[in-house]
Amino acid sequence: MELPNIKILDEKNKTLRQISQKVKFPLSNEDKKTIQDMLTYLKMSQIEKYYEKYNLRPGMGLAFIQLGIPKNIFVIVNEVDDEQFENYVIINPKMISHSEELIYVGEGEGCLSVNREVEGIVPRYARMRISYQDENGKECEIRVREDLSVAFQHEMDHLNGILFVDKIDKNNPFKDKDKMREI
């Protein structure tokens, strides 16, 4: 596998604070290539021989805005078994519904745009249903839970110019921890 030449913006870059724009179809060839590059990069970042060789931080999701492209597109690469992955290409997502139950990632959330350790919990919905369009513009709906729900919410925040660090209470990073379930 060849490592794609993509440049992920750091949190200090103001572009990450832009609100992404709705995508029109058909997708350009450039957008299709960017999607494939992002999927390949994320897969390689989760396979030990590649992340060691290229010094990659493992990542599960990337939004176009993290590459400096303000379009409503994100991808998620979820490892379901050893080096077996499910790919999600999500365009123009909208949350339809979510659980009342809140969860948080025990070891803390991370982000390929945030190159530092961050203490604190990020409240997320345990389950969520979203509508979106696939690469061909077809209307789709998906229900996600647990880790995938966290990843989808994290990437949807990116589309709105929000970083996970914004959701951590600065004065009390572990606020309301007892009201949520750790995953």
| 4 in any annotated domain | no
Output the pTM of the full model.
0.96
Count of the separate structural domains present in the chain: 1
| 2 in any annotated domain | no
124-125 and 102-104 strand pairing? antiparallel
Residue ranges making up the domain that contains 174 = 14-182
Residues of the chain with pLDDT under 70: none
Q: What is the pLDDT of residue 2?
A: 92
Q: Using one digit for the tens of pLDDT, what is the confidence trace for 85-116? A: 999 999 999 999 999 999 999 999 999 999 99
| 18 in any annotated domain | yes
Q: What is the pLDDT of residue 65?
A: 98
| 9 in any annotated domain | no
Q: Which among 11, 48, 117, 155 is annotated as catalytic?
A: 155
| 86 in any annotated domain | yes
100 is catalytic: no
Q: What is the pLDDT of residue 58?
A: 94
| 142 in any annotated domain | yes
Residue 105 belongs to domain with CATH number: 3.90.45.10
